[in-house]
Amino acid sequence: MGNCFSDDAVGRSAAGATPFSQNNTSNTAVDCFLLSRGYRGLYSQIELSFSASNLRDRDVFSQMLKLDEQQYLGEATCVLSEIVTKSERSLTLDLVYREESTSSTHTHHRGKFTVHAEECVSSKTTTEMILRCSDLEHKDLFSRIDPFLVISKTVESKSSIPVCKTEVIKNDLNPTWKPVFLNMQQVGSKDSPLIIECYNFNNNGKHELIGKVQKSLVELEKLSFSGEGENLFLLPSAGHDYHIKVLKSQLFVDKFSESVQQTFLDYIAGGYEMNFMVAVDFTASNGNPRLPDSLHFIDPSGRPNSYQRAIIEVGEVLQFYDSDKRFPAWGFGARPIDGPVSHCFNLNGSSHYCEVEGTQGILMAYTSALHNVSLAGPTLFGPVVNNAALIASQSLASGGRKYFVLLIITDGVVTDLQETKDALVKASDLPLSILIVGVGGADFKEMEVLDADKGERLESTTGRVASRDIVQFVPFRDVQGGGISVVQELLAEIPHQFLTYIRSRDVQPNS
């Protein structure tokens, strides 16, 4: 096994080398397996399985070590989240050897096993750029241009993945956008090609491509140093054998700087916690819970419905970032026993407190609520958003180092759209992010307006604009059956939203 090391009295010895002291019993090889339900380590429940072997081969000239020829000592298992949430990013586990026979399994404890995680310095390198365009061209001379940029990276399949999006600047042919921040985790390396596309914003979501450039960070840095612009271009339409159209419009890099920034993991290891909250839609459009075609149907076989799956997938990840694992849980759009329709009731049935114990507590409260409420309507988000914002506000006022994540699971389009926008704009100043999962077959197009990734920043009835994007919306059917999990799609934005909030207040992690 290559690049396998163990600690001894004078530092590190390569596995298979002669130990510093012949009495040193810590020089053992470690085999590590990554069992991942996705490509994002923080939010994909990566399970780590370690096996330790007492080394018999002490040949210092050996280039390879055959682990299957070593004496197996035991194994230890943990989740990556358990390591990175520790203050020293070190976790000590029991090393266990299981001896199986035809009749039983015997467990033997073989000592302790300590795992330490380190974040690469390169992953902390952040590039700040101020981008500007000049002489933007528009096909329609009688309408205005509301431009914004989308920065994407290319992957091995030659497809592109968006990693950053600027704000929309209204009616401007020569826009300068607010600074954008890119880290190496997002782009891969400074030499990786990036596609920078300039779009004209459209309220219907069909944004018009004005032009684009393809440059790496190295090339963008050179543009900044030279002060020159890069011409935007358009590819020929499908079926037309035309040359690439080079536009007179240009992209300029007015600022390019690099710095080592505190990362999401720095704050988590420094004592910040993620607190999970959930709100479940109990409106009548879900169907009678007793019938198999209902979105709330509890399958006797134990197969989870869409509501249960969303709770499990998100809750089981976030619970590792919360020390007490007590989560507020609400329902909305139902009539509790002997009461009026409520748009924010405690899922556990209590009139005094809303918290439950862990993800299993949420699932139990959800199942119980299905027997104790009558499905009603309409679909209102405002009350649950305001309740979550109140908890976040109280934590902030008391000096708490918590960031809150509210999961709303719904089967239909929100009825109180403007009231919800008002609540979200107000909440954008708080340590809060909101994840919305749309279940069922409804048309959720109107819901996308709440997610600033798909349009403009939210604006309240008073004209106030949200200070940052705090919403991520995903229709469950878009990820249900594919290779992408709900967790990956929903939680992809959380570290960025968290850091945007933290950096705007110049908060430093505890050392």
Give the per-residue pLDDT at 328.
97
The two structure tokens encoding residue 135: 């002489």
Give the per-residue pLDDT at 238.
63
- How far CA 475 is from CA of 310, 311, 312, in Å, comes to 11, 14, 16
Give the per-residue pLDDT at 343.
96
Give the per-residue pLDDT at 16.
37
3-state secondary structure of 57: coil
Global pTM value: 0.74
Q: Quick one: DSSP state of residue 466?
A: P
Give the per-residue pLDDT at 90.
81
Give the per-residue pLDDT at 264.
85
Q: Which among 276, 253, 266, 203 has a CA at the least distance from the CA of 455?
A: 203
DSSP string, 59-124: -TT-S---GGGSEEEEEEEEEHHHHHTSTTSEEEEEEEEEEE-SS-EEEEEEEEEEEE----GGGG
SS3 content of the chain, % helix, strand, coil (to 5): 25, 35, 40
**Domains of the chain listed by start with CATH number:** 5-119 (no CATH), 122-260 (2.60.40.150), 265-504 (3.40.50.410)
Give the per-residue pLDDT at 323.
82
How far apart, in whole angstroms, are the C-alpha atoms of residue 94 and residue 98? Answer: 12
How far apart, in whole angstroms, are the C-alpha atoms of residue 113 and residue 279? Answer: 40
How far apart, in whole angstroms, are the C-alpha atoms of residue 406 and residue 415? Answer: 19
How far apart, in whole angstroms, are the C-alpha atoms of residue 465 and residue 467? Answer: 6
Give the per-residue pLDDT at 137.
86
pLDDT in tens, the chain (511 residues): 333 333 333 333 333 333 334 444 444 444 444 443 333 444 445 556 565 655 554 444 455 555 556 667 778 887 777 777 776 778 888 888 877 766 677 777 878 878 887 766 667 788 999 999 999 987 776 678 999 999 998 877 677 888 888 988 989 999 999 999 888 878 888 999 999 999 998 877 788 999 999 999 999 999 999 999 999 999 877 655 567 889 999 999 999 999 888 888 888 888 888 899 999 999 999 999 999 999 999 999 999 999 999 899 888 888 878 888 999 999 999 998 878 999 999 999 998 999 999 999 999 999 999 999 999 999 999 999 999 999 999 999 999 899 999 999 999 889 999 999 999 999 999 999 999 999 988 888 778 888 876 567 888 999 999 998 899 888 887 655 544 566 666 777 888 889 889 988 888 887 6
Amino acid identity, position 115: V
Indicate the burial class of 120 (C-beta count within 10 angstroms; 0-12, 13-18, 19 or more): exposed
- CB neighbours (10 Å) of residue 143? 12
How far apart, in whole angstroms, are the C-alpha atoms of residue 243 and residue 170? Answer: 31
- How far CA 456 is from CA of 151, 166, 201, 326, in Å, comes to 16, 10, 8, 34
Residues 6+ apart with CB under 8 A from 500: 468, 469
How far apart, in whole angstroms, are the C-alpha atoms of residue 146 and residue 58? Answer: 68
Does residue 114 contact residue 88 with C-beta atoms inside 8 Å? no
Give the per-residue pLDDT at 116.
80
